[in-house]
């Protein structure tokens, strides 16, 4: 399968265009195509051979020609030319917090800075402060950013690692000699970033499995290749480890390599008290060395008298005590989601029409979808002023009369201005079904001001949800300074829901805050913040965070059917 390699190229084109200050819609189009191809269940080459590239969502005429060229010659001229126009390290510069494509471009043109090391040196030599608009603070911030980035570069965000890992698992599963194969490690536990990917497979004949694995397209380096264990590094820098075991050892191996370490240590201790020894090879009765047969992970837990513990809960060991005391929650699943309450359409910065978003929601089995486009102050995102929002309300009415099987809720993602006021009038907010309020500007306020600002928004009688409450972008932007304890307390007081933004770049709230908020009686909502139909598929990432926060479907607002949801929204209460 060449899907991953192609996706990687398209992603790089998007980044390079961004660096050149290209139109953001063009940049998005490439990133979107990359994502589509990455998730495509079929080999792109097969689609191409049938002449059906143009039928793949997001692949237009121009892109079709480029992919055609790449698949027939192995080269994409456009990609090669773009790459030649800029030094290779420049893309990395934009990952430093505070260095956008524009600044990276300037640093290159005006100071000749081509990569992270040169940027670091320039800051230390205080050369940036001589550029217009930059000063000593910029240098300090960039140095801090570089340090943070270097730490993060050793870890991969879930959203990058998971699709790749799933594709590898599918490829291995397709080998006739493989009996079972599954993801393990922190990725299976749903950690927001992972150091590497672990895969466990069972087979009576490991050799061909190893062979197929090290020949995965996109492998840059084979770190190790033994009889039953191999490690590869993909071109993206992601390391993947595979272990192949006998099928009767699969369950124990899967459990062992899923971890966490703390979980495994405590489970082994519990096993000892029952005269058992648990290892990656299986479970042995200490008395007579009898090996207990364990066919599934549930059998592993049952052997020590526990119910099955889902991987997302296997973290600090407290899950084992909870399991012993029968306190494990019935965790939420993607299938419990009744709708999405934060999505954008092409009325603001989304790519698809309201109708397309609604139909995509219906296709995913949802009962409702809230269209929450941006408000006027976010002019870069073409935020809607009151007149256009009125117009959108009429369009939603019209579509609701026309479409069956899905309810479109009216809404907006209203900006919380610096002083805590909102940039749409209350009378208008009162008429919307769902109001999400978010911070998109002045993120450098101190903790007190930022907290007061969000608290003021929660006290607005029409604000139902605080969107992406800490504002972080994984690997790019730290959360803003905010007193989460107070936010959670006021959310509980005012009946405002806090969002788990499911976009894998955000995952905001994170698992810890979400669990904390739930414990204080705050209703959580899991939204994708989709800017296109396929963005709706990112719900799973948010649900993973919710599961790691020990949440069940009763704890999440958009697991409620519409009448009950309506009663929970501020304007729906009487």
Q: How far is the CB of 453 from Zn ion (least distance, A)?
A: 15
The residue whose two tokens read 């940049």 is 27
What residues does 498 pair with on adjacent strands?
466, 524
Question: Any idea what the Cα angle at residue 440 is, between residues 482 and 190, rounded to 5°?
Answer: 65
C-beta of 206 vs 420, nearer to Zn ion: 420
C-beta of 139 vs 529, nearer to Zn ion: 529
C-beta of 375 vs 438, nearer to Zn ion: 438
C-beta of 186 vs 501, nearer to Zn ion: 501
Q: How far is the CB of 535 from Zn ion (least distance, A)?
A: 10
C-beta of 14 vs 467, nearer to Zn ion: 467
Cα separation of 407 and 357, whole Å? 11
C-beta of 324 vs 477, nearer to Zn ion: 477
Check residue 135 and give left, alpha or beta (phi > 0: left; psi -120 to 50: alpha): beta
Cα separation of 375 and 69, whole Å? 42
Closest CA to 254 of 273, 228, 234, 280: 280
Q: How far is the CB of 507 from Zn ion (least distance, A)?
A: 14
What residues does 108 pair with on adjacent strands?
none
C-beta of 382 vs 553, nearer to Zn ion: 382
Contacts of residue 375, Cβ cutoff 8 Å, sequence gap at least 6: 383, 384, 412, 413, 414, 415, 422, 423, 424
| CA count, 13 A, side-chain hemisphere, 6 | 27
Cα separation of 237 and 177, whole Å? 28
> Which residues bind to Zn ion, rule: CB under 5 A?
413, 438, 529
Q: How far is the CB of 344 from Zn ion (least distance, A)?
A: 6
Q: How far is the CB of 229 from Zn ion (least distance, A)?
A: 43
Q: How far is the CB of 276 from Zn ion (least distance, A)?
A: 50
C-beta of 202 vs 438, nearer to Zn ion: 438
Closest CA to 557 of 454, 439, 434: 434
Residue length of the chain? 574
Cα separation of 209 and 108, whole Å? 46
Task: Return the structure tokens found at 41.
Answer: 């269940």
Q: In sequence order, what DSSP letters do the residues of 197-255 get, joined into one string?
A: EEEEEE-S-HHHHHHHHHT-TTEEEEEEE-SSEEEEEETTS-EEEEEEE-GGGHHHHHH
- DSSP, res 467: S
Q: How far is the CB of 256 from Zn ion (least distance, A)?
A: 40
Q: How far is the CB of 374 from Zn ion (least distance, A)?
A: 7
Closest CA to 260 of 223, 312, 338, 208: 312
| CA count, 13 A, side-chain hemisphere, 161 | 29
C-beta of 304 vs 530, nearer to Zn ion: 530
For residue 290, give the H/E element and its range: strand 290-292
The residue whose two tokens read 């390391």 is 239
C-beta of 101 vs 467, nearer to Zn ion: 467
C-beta of 223 vs 380, nearer to Zn ion: 380
Report helix, strand or coil for 550: coil
For residue 465, give the H/E element and its range: strand 465-466
Q: How far is the CB of 516 from Zn ion (least distance, A)?
A: 22
Q: How far is the CB of 473 from Zn ion (least distance, A)?
A: 11
Q: How far is the CB of 468 from Zn ion (least distance, A)?
A: 6
């Amino acid at each position: 399968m060449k899907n991953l390699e192609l996706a990687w190229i398209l992603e790089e084109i998007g980044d390079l265009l961004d660096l050149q200050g290209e139109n953001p819609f063009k940049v998005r189009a490439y990133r979107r195509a990359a994502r589509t191809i990455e998730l495509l269940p079929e080999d792109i080459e097969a689609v191409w051979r049938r002449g059906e590239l143009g039928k793949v969502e997001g692949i237009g005429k121009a892109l079709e020609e480029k992919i055609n060229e790449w698949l027939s010659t192995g080269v994409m001229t456009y990609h090669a030319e773009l790459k030649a126009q800029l030094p290779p390290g420049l893309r990395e510069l934009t990952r430093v917090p505070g260095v956008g494509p524009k600044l990276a471009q300037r640093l290159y043109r005006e100071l000749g800075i081509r990569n992270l090391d040169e940027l670091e040196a320039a800051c230390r030599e205080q050369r940036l402060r001589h550029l217009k608009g930059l000063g000593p603070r910029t240098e300090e911030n960039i140095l801090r950013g570089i340090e943070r980035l270097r730490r993060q570069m050793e870890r991969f965000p879930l959203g990058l690692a998971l699709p790749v890992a799933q594709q590898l698992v599918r490829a291995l599963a397709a080998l006739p000699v493989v009996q079972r194969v599954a993801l393990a490690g922190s990725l299976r536990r749903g950690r927001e970033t992972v150091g590497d990917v672990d895969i466990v497979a069972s087979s009576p004949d490991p050799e061909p499995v190893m062979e197929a694995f090290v020949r995965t397209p996109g492998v840059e380096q084979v770190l190790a290749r033994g009889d039953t264990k191999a490690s590869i590094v993909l071109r993206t820098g992601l390391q993947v480890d595979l272990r192949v075991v006998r099928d009767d050892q699969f369950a124990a191996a899967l459990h062992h390599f899923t971890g966490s370490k703390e979980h495994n240590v405590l489970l082994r201790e519990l096993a000892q008290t029952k005269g058992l020894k648990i290892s990656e090879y299986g479970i042995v009765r200490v008395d007579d060395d009898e090996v207990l047969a364990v066919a599934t992970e549930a059998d592993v837990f049952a052997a020590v008298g526990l119910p099955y513990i889902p991987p997302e809960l296997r973290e600090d060991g407290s899950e084992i005590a909870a399991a012993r005391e029968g306190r494990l929650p019935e965790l939420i699943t993607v299938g419990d989601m009744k709708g999405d309450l934060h999505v954008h359409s092409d009325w603001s910065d989304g790519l698809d029409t309201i109708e397309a978003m609604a139909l995509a929601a219906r296709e995913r089995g949802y009962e409702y979808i809230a269209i929450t486009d941006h408000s006027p102050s976010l002019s870069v995102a073409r935020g809607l002023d009151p007149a256009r929002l009125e117009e959108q309300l009429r369009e939603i009415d019209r579509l609701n009369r026309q479409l069956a099987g899905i309810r479109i809720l009216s809404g907006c993602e209203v900006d919380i201005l610096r002083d805590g006021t909102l940039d749409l009038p209350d009378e208008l907010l009162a008429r919307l079904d769902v109001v999400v309020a978010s911070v998109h500007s002045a993120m450098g306020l101190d903790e007190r001001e930022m907290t007061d600002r969000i608290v003021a928004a929660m006290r607005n009688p029409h604000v139902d949800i605080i969107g992406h409450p800490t504002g972080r972008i994984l690997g790019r932007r730290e959360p803003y300074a905010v007193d989460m304890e107070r936010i959670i307390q006021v959310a509980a007081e005012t009946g405002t829901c806090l969002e788990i933004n499911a976009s894998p770049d955000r995952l905001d709230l994170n698992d810890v805050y979400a669990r904390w908020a739930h414990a204080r009686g705050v209703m959580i909502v899991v939204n994708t913040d989709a800017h296109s139909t396929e963005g709706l598929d990112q719900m799973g990432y948010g649900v993973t965070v919710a599961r790691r926060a020990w949440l069940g479907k009763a704890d999440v607002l958009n697991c409620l059917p519409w009448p009950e949801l309506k009663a929970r929204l501020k304007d729906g209460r009487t």
